[in-house]
């Protein structure tokens, strides 16, 4: 993962799962009651609270109830939980504006020795708040439900219309209009039941509110078009699709983000390699499965949960290590995982077994270290390429990441010193394996799900260990279901495994991205007790050694045609998203300042 991709993934920490609709509505009514006690001045506190609930809380409840119903009938996707949370936030916006207006009235008189701003200023602030609520809701509806401006207006206007309707009825505005008889006036004109401050409202105020809403709608449309153009020119997709999918996945666990990725993806042919171990009775004991796919981008989107899916598909204990593939080989949808599993099963059916294997070898050149072991005419090589063999499973141990900051991120790129060191180490390991004499193979396995959670950097596969014994030498392969590892931890774990009596050991991670839903840098060892992990691996290696028994091993490779992100798409997407966040905030602030200034001018002229 590059720094740019890490910045994009880390944005997920700002998004939270939407609370249930009844929790949002209940909190909104409490806030409304408190605001009523602070704003109104009747004889009884409960009456003030009721007026707050009625004039502030009722529009919120109406918006919570009607928004998802109307939005769905217009082809939108707002859920009751999202709609209620949006209504609550808009209520808080209204209360916040009114509090600031009230403070301005208080400060302007006593402290500055000038006439107070007055009730008209407070009411003008209320109109501004109602129009702002409409603008916020319009932006959210257009982003989440991906609708045009005209189709989004009915849904976006619910809370503002409900608030304006209450003001119309309880301010006595009907008295200015020569329409209706006693029955109409009794229901649509009730100034005697409202606070006296509302008597200042006149019919022209509602025309002014409508004009502000039109102005704000134009501003929202211009803002969206401005930030959307770079995405459409470079990627051919809309930023609203990305925003909707990103928020929907993190906040609601939806699959909308996959729909967006499908628009970006391109077809690729990838190898899927299977290394299987079976007992003398013929049943499978363990299976290593390595698709040349990156298990991302995050959570269970695309191939994010690929390791667990692979492990569940095997008869023996499944080992899904990390392939030497980057984020450009993320699957665009979880459906593509089914294709990978089908191809893995075809490869498994073609496996030809051999009862002999070579002892493991380790070769190091500069920073590159390769652990290799041959099984018949095939080899398992951790972190490298093994030349001179019919089949090879190329595993990226993915076990030492020093963060995403700094000039040197430790990537192995074509033409780099690291790449040549790895090639030379692989060549040395391959030569040793080719010259080694095979002996009967024994295998033992062990597994612990652990009590750690994805938030602590450990996925559902926990820790898995396979120990091979050939010619009196034992090798332990430790697989931790996590995304990379804190620097130095791998060395501690390898030494702990070797202390059990094995001759060589290597520790790998699956690179599962189910641990990266909230934090882009949630690697093994960052949140858990490393000593506890060390102790667990010692126990598991010991169990695996006790489980040693004669087996046969074989390897086969098939190719899968899947849709992945494609060359440079991940970096381009991350760059655009990060630029949108940094520049979009400045642009939004400029739009808000400009529209607010224009609103103040309108109030002054009116």
pLDDT at 333 over 70: yes
One domain for residues 201 and 247: yes
Encode pLDDT of 37-52 as tens digits.
Answer: 776 666 667 777 877 7
Q: Is residue 208 part of a domain?
A: yes
Q: Is residue 188 part of a domain?
A: yes
Q: What is the DSSP pairing of strand 473-480 with strand 504-509?
A: parallel
pLDDT at 173 over 90: no
Confidence band (pLDDT; 50, 70, 90) for 114? very low
Mean pLDDT across the chain, nearest whole number? 82
What pLDDT shows up at residue 43? Answer: 67
One domain for residues 341 and 235: no
Q: Is residue 45 part of a domain?
A: yes
One domain for residues 139 and 77: yes
One domain for residues 272 and 250: no
Radius of gyration of the chain (CA): 32
Closest residue by Cα to residue 69 from 139, 179, 158, 133: 158
Encode pLDDT of 533-560 as tens digits.
Answer: 999 999 999 999 999 999 999 999 999 9
pLDDT at 305 over 50: yes
What pLDDT shows up at residue 181? Answer: 47
Write out 78-121 in H/E/C secondary structure: CCHHHHHHHHHHHHHHHHHHHHHHHHHHHHHCCCCCCCCCCHHH
One domain for residues 51 and 166: yes
357 or 265: which leads in pLDDT: 357
One domain for residues 583 and 496: no
Q: Is residue 13 part of a domain?
A: no
Confidence band (pLDDT; 50, 70, 90) for 375? very high
Helix (H) or strand (E) holding 323: strand 322-323
420 or 283: which leads in pLDDT: 283
115 or 202: which leads in pLDDT: 202
Helix (H) or strand (E) holding 226: helix 203-234
pLDDT at 16 over 50: yes
One domain for residues 560 and 577: no
What pLDDT shows up at residue 276? Answer: 97
Q: Counting every residue, how long is the chain?
A: 606
Q: Is residue 14 part of a domain?
A: no
One domain for residues 304 and 438: yes
Instruction: Count the helix, strand and coil residues of the chain and give each as a percent rounded to the nearest 5.
Output: 55, 20, 30
For 109, 265, 418, 508, the CA distances from 270, given in Å and listed in that order, are: 74, 15, 24, 22
For residues 165-172, give the mean pLDDT: 72
What pLDDT shows up at residue 502? Answer: 97
Which of 63-72, 106-115, 293-302 has the highest mean predicted lDDT (pLDDT)? 63-72
What pLDDT shows up at residue 314? Answer: 96
What pLDDT shows up at residue 316? Answer: 96
Q: Per-residue DSSP letters for 461-510? A: T-EEEEEEEETTEEEEEEEESSS-B-TTHHHHHHHHHHTTT-SEEEEEE-
Helix, strand or coil for residue 520? coil
Taking the C-alpha atoms of residue 205 and residue 89, their distance in angstroms, rounded to an integer, is 24
Out of 135-149, 168-182, 274-288, which region has the weakest mean confidence (pLDDT)? 168-182
pLDDT at 163 over 80: yes
One domain for residues 580 and 539: no
What pLDDT shows up at residue 420? Answer: 78
One domain for residues 226 and 284: no
Q: Is residue 260 part of a domain?
A: no
Confidence band (pLDDT; 50, 70, 90) for 191? very low
pLDDT at 561 over 80: yes
One domain for residues 559 and 446: yes
One domain for residues 133 and 274: no
pLDDT at 144 over 90: no
Chain mean position to CA 198: 46
pLDDT at 250 over 50: yes
Find out whether 322 and 295 touch, Cβ atoms under 8 Å: yes
For 101, 232, 369, the CA distances from 194, given in Å and listed in that order, are: 20, 51, 79
Instruction: Please give the share of the chain, as a percent, with pLDDT higher than 90.
Output: 39
What pLDDT shows up at residue 539? Answer: 97
Burial class (CB in 10 A: 0-12, 13-18, 19+), 89: middle
What pLDDT shows up at residue 186? Answer: 47
What pLDDT shows up at residue 190? Answer: 45
For residues 357-365, give the mean pLDDT: 90
503 or 425: which leads in pLDDT: 503
Closest residue by Cα to residue 124 from 157, 166, 154, 167: 167
Residue owning tokens 């001179």: 388
Confidence band (pLDDT; 50, 70, 90) for 328? confident
Out of 118-122, 194-198, 295-299, which region has the weakest mean confidence (pLDDT)? 194-198
Q: Is residue 532 part of a domain?
A: yes
Q: Show the domain range for 31.
A: 19-255+571-605
Instruction: Please give the share of the chain, as a percent, with pLDDT higher than 70.
Output: 81
Q: Is residue 12 part of a domain?
A: no
Helix, strand or coil for residue 565? coil
Structurally, the chain folds into a number of domains equal to 2
For the entire predicted model, the pTM comes to: 0.74
């Amino acid at each position: 993962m590059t720094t740019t991709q890490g910045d994009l993934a880390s944005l997920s920490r700002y998004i939270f799962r939407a609370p249930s609709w009844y929790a949002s509505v209940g909190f909104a009514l409490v806030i409304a009651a408190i605001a009523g006690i602070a704003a109104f001045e009747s004889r009884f506190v409960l009456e003030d609270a009721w007026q707050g609930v009625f004039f502030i809380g009722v529009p919120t409840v109406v918006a919570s109830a009607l928004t998802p119903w109307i939005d769905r009938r217009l082809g939108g996707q707002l859920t009751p939980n999202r709609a209620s949370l949006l209504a609550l936030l808009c209520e808080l916006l209204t209360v916040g504006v009114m509090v600031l207006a009230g403070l301005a009235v208080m400060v302007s008189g006593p402290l500055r020795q000038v006439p107070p701003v007055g009730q008209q200023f407070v009411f003008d602030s209320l109109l501004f708040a109602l129009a702002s609520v409409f603008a916020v809701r319009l932006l959210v509806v257009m982003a989440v439900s991906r609708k045009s401006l005209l189709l989004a207006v009915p849904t976006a206007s619910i809370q503002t219309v409900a608030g304006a309707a209450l003001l119309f009825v309880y301010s006595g505005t009907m008295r200015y209009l020569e329409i209706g008889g006693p029955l109409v006036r009794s229901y649509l004109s009730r100034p005697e039941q409202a606070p006296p401050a509302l008597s200042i409202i006149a019919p022209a105020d509602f025309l002014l509110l409508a004009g502000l809403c039109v102005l704000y709608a134009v501003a929202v449309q211009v803002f969206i078009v401005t930030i959307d153009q770079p995405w459409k020119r470079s990627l051919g997709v809309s930023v609203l699709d990305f925003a909707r999918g990103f928020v929907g996945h993190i906040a609601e666990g939806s699959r909308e983000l996959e729909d967006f990725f499908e628009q970006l993806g391109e077809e690729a042919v990838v190898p899927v390699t299977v290394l299987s171990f079976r007992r003398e009775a013929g049943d499978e004991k363990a299976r290593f499965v390595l698709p040349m796919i990156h298990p991302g981008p995050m959570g269970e989107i695309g191939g994010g949960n690929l390791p667990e899916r692979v492990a569940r598909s095997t008869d023996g204990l499944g080992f899904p290590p990390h392939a030497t593939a980057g984020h450009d080989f993320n699957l665009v949808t979880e459906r593509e995982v089914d294709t990978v599993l089908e191809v893995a099963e075809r490869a498994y059916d073609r496996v030809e077994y051999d009862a002999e294997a070579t002892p493991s070898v380790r070769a190091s050149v500069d920073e590159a270290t390769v652990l290799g072991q041959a099984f018949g005419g095939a080899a398992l090589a951790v972190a490298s390429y093994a030349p001179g063999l019919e089949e090879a499973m190329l595993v990226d141990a993915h076990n030492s990441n020093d963060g995403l900051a700094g000039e040197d991120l430790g990537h192995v790129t074509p033409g780099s010193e690291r790449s040549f060191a790895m090639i030379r180490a692989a060549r040395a390991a391959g030569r040793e394996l080719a010259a080694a004499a095979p002996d009967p193979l024994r295998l033992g396995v062990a597994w612990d799900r652990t009590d750690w959670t994805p938030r602590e950097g450990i996925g559902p596969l926990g820790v898995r260990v396979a120990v091979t014994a050939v010619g009196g030498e034992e090798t332990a392969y430790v697989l931790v279901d996590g995304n990379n590892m804190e620097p130095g931890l791998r060395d501690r774990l390898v030494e702990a495994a070797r202390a059990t009596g094995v001759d060589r050991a290597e520790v790998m991670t699956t690179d599962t991205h189910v641990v990266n839903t909230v934090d882009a840098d949630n690697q093994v060892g960052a949140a858990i007790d490393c000593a506890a992990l060390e102790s667990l691996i010692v126990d598991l290696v010991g169990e695996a050694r006790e489980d040693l028994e004669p087996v046969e091993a074989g390897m086969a490779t098939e190719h899968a045609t899947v849709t992945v992100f494609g060359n440079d798409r991940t970096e381009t997407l991350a760059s655009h998203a990060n630029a949108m966040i940094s520049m979009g905030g400045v642009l939004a602030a400029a739009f808000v300042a400009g529209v607010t200034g224009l609103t103040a001018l309108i109030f002054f002229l009116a």
